A and B are shown apart, each in its own frame.
Chain A
Amino acid sequence: MSYRVSAWPLLGALFLAWANPLPAEAARQVIEIRDMAFGKAPAGLKAGDTILWKNMDMFRHTATDRKGSFDLDLAPGAQGEITLRDPGVLEVICRYHPNMVLRLTIRKAD
């Protein structure tokens, strides 16, 4: 009896691992836009992570992948989230303020 009960958590864990292909440790990062600049690029970004972009400025900005994988239009005070799909280097710009540039380095998911 005690053997049977203790086996359930293990079976449950196996089922979850099978049903959810995303790595369990995908992280959620935040990048604030403030004073006409993107905040620092978070260290250790990997495919599958999400980034929440928060526009703390009184100005409208965008967070736009130069290659086009995402383009968030952020009104003052607005925020928006994206998921990093692929490993590589992304150059993020603000379409309205071309001097705003942020480079993100994304490694493979574990």
Chain B
Amino acid sequence: MLKRLIFAALLLSPSMALAQSQKPNDAQIAHIAYTAGVLDISAAKQALAKSSSAEVKAFAGEMVRDHQAVNDKALALVKKLNVTPEDNATSQALSKAAATKLAELGKLSGAAYDRAYVENEVAYHKTVNGALKDTLIPDSQNAELKSLLQTGLSLFTAHQQHAEHLAMSLAK
């Protein structure tokens, strides 16, 4: 819970360039959404290498496949719209938090790793869902980008539910 709060605070911190006063533009929104996908793929690849649980691996495989699919569409869309995704404070905060988490998870193994990975997936998807719902979708201007973000939200919501179920079964 504390970690989740810190993570949410990082994402929403008023000291960050995008928060509050300045709304992100489409190029920044595309960058944030793409980054969120890439980071989840990295975490999943670590899980595929480290976990020996069939369920955890199946979940991680789903993360890689689905986020890759949506990111491929995102790349095609920015190319079509002639937009260059723009790095920004939110993307950087997400990447930094994810790198710290990846290193932390890297030190664990076995059931402890499985539980920590899946718990973090629950928290991560929750955070990204919140950002999509409250900021990225309402602030996006281009209709195609908005629609892709909405698909992303359905995806992240489904993944969050899957992660929650998995977390419960691992806790038993």
A98 (CB) vs chain B CBs: closest residue: B162
- Does A35 lie within 8 Å of B151, measured CB to CB? yes
Report the Cα distance A40→B77, complex, angstroms: 30
Report the Cα distance A36→B158, complex, angstroms: 7
- Determine the chain B residues whose CB is within 8 A of the CB of A99 once the complex forms: 158, 161-162, 165
B66 (CB) vs chain A CBs: closest residue: A59
A107 at the interface (CB under 8 A from B): no
- Does A58 lie within 8 Å of B73, measured CB to CB? yes
B23 at the interface (CB under 8 A from A): no
B48 at the interface (CB under 8 A from A): no
B155 at the interface (CB under 8 A from A): yes
- Does A59 lie within 8 Å of B69, measured CB to CB? yes
- Determine the chain B residues whose CB is within 8 A of the CB of A96 once the complex forms: 58, 62, 65-66
Report the Cα distance A36→B161, complex, angstroms: 12
How many interface residues does B have (CB within 8 Å)?
15
- Determine the chain B residues whose CB is within 8 A of the CB of A28 once the complex forms: none
Count of A-B contacts judged by CB separation below 8 Å:
35
Take A97-B162, A98-B165, A99-B161 as given contacts and tell me if A58 and B154 are in contact as well, using a CB distance cutoff of 8 Å: no
- B residues 154-172 near A (Cβ < 8 Å) are 154-155, 157-158, 161-162, 165
- Does B70 lie within 8 Å of A58, measured CB to CB? yes
Name A's interface SS: loop
- B residues 116-156 near A (Cβ < 8 Å) are 151, 154-155
- Determine the chain A residues whose CB is within 8 A of the CB of B155 once the complex forms: 36, 59
B70 (CB) vs chain A CBs: closest residue: A58
Question: B91-113 toward A: CB 8 Å interface, digit per residue (1/0)?
Answer: 00000000000000000000000
Report the Cα distance A96→B67, complex, angstroms: 13
In this complex, the member of B155, B157, B158 whose beta carbon has the largest number of chain A beta carbons within 10 angstroms is: B158
- Determine the chain A residues whose CB is within 8 A of the CB of B69 once the complex forms: 58-60, 76
Chain A nearest CB, measured from B14 CB (Å): 33
Question: A13-53 toward B: CB 8 Å interface, digit per residue (1/0)?
Answer: 00000000000000000000001110000000000000000
B165 (CB) vs chain A CBs: closest residue: A98
A residues apposed to B, CB below 8 Å: 35-37, 57-60, 76, 96-100
Closest 10 CB pairs of A and B: A99-B161, A36-B158, A36-B154, A35-B154, A58-B69, A96-B62, A59-B66, A97-B158, A99-B158, A59-B69
What are some 26 contacts across the A-B interface (CB < 8 A)?
A35-B151, A35-B154, A36-B155, A36-B158, A37-B154, A57-B151, A58-B70, A58-B73, A59-B65, A59-B66, A59-B69, A59-B70, A59-B155, A60-B65, A60-B66, A60-B69, A96-B58, A96-B62, A96-B66, A97-B158, A97-B162, A98-B162, A98-B165, A99-B158, A99-B161, A100-B158
